[in-house]
Amino acid sequence: MKNNTKLALGVSLFALIVFPVTFLGISIITGNWKFIIFSIFPSFLAGFTGLMATFRQAKTE
């Protein structure tokens, strides 16, 4: 894997893991569950799109 592919993989995993956990924490602290409800889909969409593009790029390298 080239350096750019590793960076893209890291960013995708960051979007998949850190963003939902952050909004889960905010939802628990505030008690307003709309934060987690409205952040799950966009973060998973961005994360999985990045993962698929990264894996496709890694296959061609």
Global model pTM greater than 0.75:
yes
pLDDT number for residue 61? 78
pLDDT number for residue 1? 60
pLDDT number for residue 2? 67
Distance CA 47, CA 53 (A): 10
Average pLDDT estimate for 2-28: 90
Question: Counting runs of H as helices and runs of E as strands, what totals does the chain give?
Answer: 2, 0
Query: Around Cβ 14, how many Cβ atoms within 10 Å?
Result: 14
How do residues 26-57 score in pLDDT, each as one tens digit?
A: 999 999 999 899 999 999 999 999 999 999 98
CA 8 vs CA 15, 25, 26, 41, 58: distances in Å: 11, 25, 26, 20, 10
Q: How many residues does the chain have?
A: 61
